[in-house]
Amino acid sequence: MLRVCSLSLLLLCYTAVSAQPMDALAWLQKIGDAQKGLNYHGTFVYAHDDQLESMMVVHSSSAEGERERLVHLNGVAREIIRNNDLVTSIFPEEKVVLVAHRNNLATSPFIQPESLKVFEKYYSLSLGGEERIAGIVTQRIDFKPKDVYRYGYRFWVSPEGLLLRSDLLDGDGKAIERIMFTDIHLVDQIPHELISPNIDLTDYKWYRQAPPVTLDDAGKSRWHITALPDGFSLKSRNLREEGASQVEHLLISDGLASISIFIEKGDSSTAARVGEFRVGALNGFGRLLGDYVVVVVGDVPLATVTLIAESVAEND
Amino acid sequence: MGENFTDRELVKRVQNGDKSAFDLLVLKYQHKIIKLVSRFVREPSDALDVTQDSFIKAYRALPNFRGDSAFYTWLYRIASNTAKNFLVSQRRRLGDVGIDSEEMMSREEEFGLNDVATPDNILAKDEVQHTVFETIENLPDDLRTALTLREFDGLSYEEIAEVMECPVGTVRSRIFRARETVSEKLRALSGE
Amino acid sequence: MEKSDKIKCQVSSFMDGEITEDEVSLLCKRIENDQALRERWRDYHVISDALKQQLPVQENIDISQRIHDALEDEPALSGNRKAASNSHTVIKRFSGLAVAASVAILGVVVVLNTAVQPGGGEPTVLAKSTPDTVVTQVAGLSNNPSATQHTIDPRLNKYLVDHSEYAVSASVHGMLPYARIVGQQSVRE
């Protein structure tokens, strides 16, 4: 019922939007398109807490789809290669390659532009000034959350729609996490060697993860969420087998922040997953629910993951 | 209610001797299963054989299906096991015994295309996908909204009626008209 | 609505589980005997699969007739079902995942707030706190001597990887969620 309410709000928003903040929204739409359609490579820094990591990213888009490569430039050169929905992670210390399928999410291209407008209800959008990032003049966009359930964002966007800098902000407007490009090259075509791993993988062990089962019907789940903060909605529901047990994974998003809920039967290791935790900008909270453990994690304040974890209930 | 209801009803009918209800389950799930199997089995004709095997196994095992998991989850497991066994037997045939099937796959396979892809296939898929999306984009607002609320948000007819502030019967016919419009376009595409 | 449209509309409703049990039987009989209705049933599902990006590459293949023929000699199932005791043999599990999980992102450091009672079913006060207090708390944690640092539980590792994989497609951030995972590595080093 709660979902229905938030949906009708969404539909109301379609008509209630004023013209003024459309500029920021138009930018946001542009980011989404650019993220998929452009060929580029560059280096960015990723900062959180006292850590500063440098990474290289390559993105190519062609008739065969999207291909993306992320390489850690400090310390051990771990990398992740995404080939459409196939994600390959390479761990040189362990000499291990992990291959996993990510189901394409059923994101609607028809609702998406409108759902961008939903942001207005939960974030104050404003356009900042022009600033130079990695030698390119960018437009700054600010998202200030209107409630206690989400963080703020500040984006710096290139004229093509590339997100060249992105800050995640706490309630005081202080950056918790930052991604910033130090150089970026837009190209017509990505050379093959740039998007393939340059590690010799011959003596690596390969592991392949079985693809998850998409539960596209809410009725198939034995769980429901009683109190989802407004603006967040269920994006996907998957079932994965982990050794001898099954894990249900629900993904929730308001378009900017993503929250995962994992539910599985408890075992001897359960205690380690109960309570609060934090990894970089991700907050998490685990609790017991009957014989099951519910773990909620996302780039949102602790209050949000706690609330959601507390509100998972078993269907009758 | 919901999609579970449909599968439960069809399964019940098959279990009670109505073989043609199984055809409906095949028509419903064949593409999802082909997609799943193609992730394991590269050769297109093998993938179709394995898909066929999976459905036949499912039919034979159906008396044992109790319905405590969803039918699709159950079918999915059968198909992924059938695909896995196919790979193991193929390796054995090639004399490549020492490989642990859990430690999978050659490098080329992992970095190659994961679906069984030929230029023609890609074109065909793109065409259908494109036609579906384009047609829906051009539907009148009320039809498009009803269908997307159903397909993407998984809302029941009653919930959609509440959101769109119209009777359930109107939702029913809007979703049908949306689907019918798209399927006409698809038939034009395949020349049927 | 014409009569034939009315039945096609029922096909569409049946697909969504929105008809009554009484209607199912008659509708199934009709679909069995009417090629046009079968095509609708198939195409409506193709549309649904296409929308959810679940079509295989060779999507225009319909192998239902093949399967129907292959089952020609199979007996129809009888009403009395066997006990389901041996169904486990069909459901063999993919293992190897436990191993995969343990190598996924080894040793991410987590700050646990030890003040929280594990296993509490009651809503905690935190759920009602304002973001400012929560954020201050969180930001303070890494320097808080009473907070303990743990090597992350392997299952949590796995959750974080799964979360990131899905978050990538849900956010406008592109690779950011992956950067979080890759970027965490050196914490251990």
Q: Do B23 and C1 touch (CB under 8 A)?
A: no
**Distance to chain C for B98, nearest Cα, Å:** 17
**pTM score, whole prediction:** 0.52
**Chains with 3 or more CB pairs closer than 8 angstroms to A?**
B, C
| pLDDT recorded at residue C12 | 96
Q: How many structural domains does chain C have?
A: 2
Domain boundary among C61, C92, C108: C61
Tell whether C116 and C163 lie within a shared domain: yes
**Secondary structure of chain A: what % helix, strand, coil (to 5)?**
20, 50, 35
Q: Which residue has the higher pLDDT, B77 or C18?
A: C18
CB contact under 8 A, C182 and A91: no
pLDDT at C186: 33
Per-residue confidence (pLDDT) for residue C7, from 0 to 100:
92
Mean pLDDT, chain C, whole residue set: 60
Q: What is the structure's pLDDT at C120?
A: 34
Å from A193 to nearest chain B CA? Answer: 13
Type of residue numbered C51: L
Is the domain of C95 the same as that of C180?
Answer: yes
Out of C61, C90, C110, a domain closes at C61
State the Cα–Cα distance between residues B51 and B53, nearest whole angstrom: 5
**162-191 in A: which are within 8 Å (CB) of B?**
none
CA distance B191 to chain A (A): 25
Q: Does residue C10 surpass a pLDDT of 90?
A: yes
Pair C179, C163 in one domain: yes
Per DSSP (E only), the strands in C36-173 are 109-112, 148-151
C161 shares a domain with C115 = yes
d(CA A283, CA C79): 52
**Contact by Cβ (8 Å): B11, B62:** yes
Q: Measured between CB atoms, does B150 come within 8 Å of chain C?
A: yes
**A89 interface with C at CB cutoff 8 Å:** yes
Residues B27 and C15 sit within 8 Å (Cβ to Cβ) = no
- Give the pLDDT mean for C124-150: 30
Where is pLDDT greater, at A62 or C152? A62
Q: Which amino acid is at C117?
A: Q
Tell me the CB-side half-sphere exposure of residue C161, using CA atoms within 13 A.
Answer: 29
**Structural domain range at position C15:** 3-61
Quick one: C106 and C175 in the same domain? yes
Question: Which chains reach chain C with 3 or more Cβ–Cβ distances below 8 angstroms?
Answer: A, B
Residue A303 near residue A148, CB atoms below 8 Å: yes
- Per-residue pLDDT at A21: 44
Task: Give chain A's end-to-end CA distance (angstroms, integer).
Answer: 16
Give all domains of chain A, ordered by start, each with its CATH number: 21-195 (2.50.20.10), 212-314 (3.30.200.100)
With a cut of 50, list the residues of chain B below it in pLDDT: 94-122
pLDDT, tens only, B61-106 = 888 887 767 888 889 888 988 888 888 777 665 443 333 333 333 3
pLDDT in tens, chain A (316 residues): 334 333 333 333 333 333 344 477 777 777 766 766 788 899 988 887 777 878 888 888 877 777 888 888 877 777 888 877 777 778 777 777 777 766 554 333 333 555 566 677 888 888 888 899 988 999 998 989 998 899 998 989 888 888 888 888 988 888 888 888 999 998 888 887 888 887 777 777 776 666 666 665 444 677 888 888 888 888 778 887 666 678 888 988 887 788 999 999 887 777 777 888 887 788 899 999 888 999 999 989 999 999 999 999 988 7
* DSSP secondary structure letter of residue B192: -
Best of A1, A7, A79 to substitute, by most chain B Cβ atoms within 10 angstroms, is A7
What's the confidence (pLDDT) of residue B105?
37
Of C40, C61, C82, the residue at which a domain comes to its end is C61
Among partner residues C95, C96, C120, which is closest to A287 by beta-carbon distance? C120
DSSP chain C: --HHHHHHHHHHHHHTT-S-HHHHHHHHHHHHH-HHHHHHHHHHHHHHHHHTT---TTTT---HHHHHHHTTTSPPPPSSPPPGGGGGGT-PPP--HHHHHHHHTTT-EEEE-TTSPTT--SPPGGGGS-HHHHHHHHHHHTT-TTSEEEEPPHHHHHHHHHHHHHHHHHSTTTTHHHHHHHHHHHHH-
Task: Yes or no: say if A98 and C105 are a contact pair by the CB < 8 Å rule.
Answer: no
Residue of C nearest to A84 (CA): C169
A152 to chain B, closest Cα gap in Å: 26
Are residues C170 and C120 both part of a single domain?
yes
What is the rounded (10 degree) CA torsion for B112, A98, A220, B39? 20
Residue length of chain B: 192
pLDDT at C14 over 90: yes
Query: Per DSSP, which regions of chain C are E strands?
Result: 109-112, 148-151
More confident position, C42 or B40: C42
Q: In the block, which residue shows the tokens 């069984």?
A: B116
Whether residue C163 is found in the same domain as residue C93: yes
Tell me: do C57 and C70 sit in the same domain.
no
C-alpha to C-alpha distance for A213 and B151, rounded to whole angstroms: 17
Same domain, C54 and C87: no
Q: Do C92 and C127 fall into the same domain?
A: yes
Q: Give the residue, C153 or A18, on which the prediction is more confident.
A: C153
Residues C78 and C32 in one domain: no
Q: Model ipTM?
A: 0.83
Q: Token pair of C134, please? A: 């929560």
The pLDDT tens digits of the residues spanning C53-111 come to 778 876 568 889 989 998 888 878 765 443 332 222 111 122 222 223 333 333 233 33
Q: How far is residue B50 from each of residues A241, B56, B85, C147, measured CA to CA in Å? A: 22, 10, 10, 54
- Residues C53, C123 within the same domain: no
H or E, element range at A59: strand A51-62
Taking the Cβ of residue C123 and every Cβ of chain A, the question of whether any pair is shorter than 8 Å is answered with yes
Of C138, C175, C181, the CB nearest to A68: C175
CA-CA distance, C144 to B131, in Å (whole number)? 58
